[in-house]
Structure formats: C-alpha cells, structure tokens
Amino acid sequence: MIRFEGVCKSFGGARAVNEVTLDVARGSLCALVGTSGSGKSTLLRLANRLLEADEGSIRFDGADVTNIPPVELRRRMGYVIQSVGLFPHWTVERNVATVPRLLGWSPARIGERVAELLDLVGLPPGRHARRYPDELSGGQQQRVGVARALAGEPELLLMDEPFGAVDPPTRRGLQDSLMAIQKRTGTTILLVTHDVEEAIRLSGTLAVLDQGRLLQTGTPAQVLTQPATDAVARFFGGPLLGLNRLKALRVGDRAQAAASPDEREPIDMDATLEAALARMVAEGCSRLPVRRLADGTRGVLDLADLVRP
C-alpha cells in the first residue's frame, strides 16, 4: 500500500528521519513506535506530503507521492491527530461530512455515509449528529475525528497519537473501536504511538524507530521475543520486557493437549498470556483449561507454560 525507501528528512542540519525503508501492506495496521524525537510523526507527515522528503522515495499504491498533487493525495488518506481539530462551529454531522462535500458527493450519499460512520464509531446519529463539539466528551470528540477521517473512504488512515489525550479507560474503549473498524473495513492504518501497550494491542506490525533510524520491524511477538538491539529491548520495558511479552503472545502459542477433563470455564486460544496470568492470579490457580477453537476440544495452560522460552 505504501513504501518508504531510503527516506531522509533533516531540520536545521539534524536528521529526524535517516534512511528509513519500510513497507506497509494493504489492509494491515502498522504502529510506528519509539521514544520522543525518534522520527515517528515526521515519517507519518512525509506520507501525505505535509512534509517533503529530502532524500529517498515514497510510493503510495505504486505511484511516487511527488507525482500526486498534495490535495488529491490527502483526500485519499484520512488523518487523525491527538487534538482532533474539529470545527467548533459545525455540528458533528457537518464535521464528518467535510471530505465528502469536497469530493462533490450527493446530499443523499453524504447523509448515508455520515449515519453509517457515526454508528460505526459508537455515536448513534439520532443522538449525536446535530450536537456541537463542545457538547461532547474528549473521547466522543476523538470518535468524531476518526469518523471524519474515514468519511471519504480513504485507502490509508494516518493516525498520530490519536488517543494520547484521553484517560486510560476511554483510551481502551477507543482502541477497541479502532480494532473493530479496521477488521470491518479492512482500511490500511499507519499509527504513531509512544504507548507500548497500545502498540502491542493494536498492531499487526511494529516499526521501531530510534534517532531517526528504523531499528526493527515485525509482529509484536517477533519484536518482543527477539529484540534486534538493546534500544528495542529498553523501549519495550528493559527488565520488564518479559511481562510485555505476555501482552503479545497468545494462549494458543503455549497451550498443550489436556490429559484429563476440567469442567471450569475454558479460556480462548486467542486470549493473551497476560489475560491468562491475570485469571490465574484472580482464581488462585496455576492451570487453566483451554478452548480449542478449531475442533472444540480442550487443552490446558500451566503457569510454567507462560515462562518457558
């Protein structure tokens, strides 16, 4: 969907992005992670030409982005930022309809799309369409921002710390909504976050940056079990890296066949090892029955399975 090849960007002689090569596959969710100043947001803004690369190339759906007029390029890419940026004097429905109006859609098509998206982000249009941004909570405003970014049916959704300004419970709800939206629509998403748990929970691919360089890419499980450098290991927890691995690995990665039946409620194969450990602690046990999704038979997960290599 989008490929960065040898991309560089400097500010005042200092390289913010340094020879980054990265492929983001169609339909995937890729999280750009790293400490402050690692180049995450700069790389994101290079994608839609809010910034121009000094060196290298960026190809979007096979075409060099420099050959696509910026306005056209940005209409093909949704963009969500932490501060939302809703127009305060416009209603929710008008905010969401911004890009479809620019694209010249018919009023009927716009109305259908706005209603569909408000339902999709958990804001029933009958209750929220005619409200104004200052009548909404921070989490609701973020939902409107996501709906607006999706309104023009973008091929790529760019998200820069979209949930960083909301409280943890609201953030988790927004993450759940984003995962549901991505699963339902298949939209390709490039997400910037400094939140380790968010990155592990949301992404299919992690891209770890440090001082402008791309250190490692891979699934969360690959990156956390085999960090390429000490900097990657430090970012994902250093001495607590092992605990963060439990967020990336699934019960199905460690479960074994059960030798005897266990009538307790089984845990699903796709639950995280972190969730399994939490349940063991809550129930005061060191073993859980496991539901095998493929054939309905059960397995077992021991505490020892969580810590083995």
pLDDT class for 94, splitting at 50, 70, 90? very high
- pLDDT at position 7: 97
pLDDT class for 84, splitting at 50, 70, 90? low
* pLDDT tens digits for range 184-205: 888 899 999 988 989 999 988 9
**Amino acid of residue 60:** F
- pLDDT at position 184: 83
Query: Which percentage of the chain shows pLDDT scores above 90?
Result: 59
CA 303 to chain centre: 30
Stretch 83-87: mean pLDDT = 78
pLDDT class for 295, splitting at 50, 70, 90? low
Considering Cα of 164, then 173, then 77, then 152, what sign does the dihedral take?
A: negative
* Residue 169 pLDDT greater than 90, yes or no: no
* pLDDT tens digits for range 211-247: 999 999 999 999 999 999 999 999 998 888 989 999 9
Question: Which string of b and e fits 84-98 if b means at least 16 CB within 10 Å?
Answer: bebeeeebbbbbbbb
pLDDT class for 6, splitting at 50, 70, 90? very high
Q: Which residues, including other chains, have CB under 8 Å from residue 260's CB and lie 6 or more apart?
A: none
* 39, 18 contact by CB (below 8 A): yes
* 17, 8 contact by CB (below 8 A): yes
Q: Alpha-carbon distance 154 to 99, whole Å?
A: 10
**Amino acid of residue 57:** S
263 vs 71: which has the higher pLDDT: 71
Q: Alpha-carbon distance 133 to 47, whole Å?
A: 28
Six token digits for residue 117 = 């998206």
- pLDDT at position 42: 96
pLDDT, averaged across the chain: 90
Q: Alpha-carbon distance 292 to 252, whole Å?
A: 8
- pLDDT at position 177: 83
* 91, 131 contact by CB (below 8 A): yes
Query: Strand ranges (DSSP E) for 115-243?
Result: 156-160, 188-192, 205-210, 213-218
Q: Which of 220, 190, 232 is nearest to 38 (CA)?
A: 232
Q: Alpha-carbon distance 146 to 179, whole Å?
A: 12
**Which domains does the chain possess?**
2-240 (3.40.50.300), 249-307 (3.10.580.10)
pLDDT class for 293, splitting at 50, 70, 90? low
Query: What's the predicted TM-score (pTM) here?
Result: 0.87
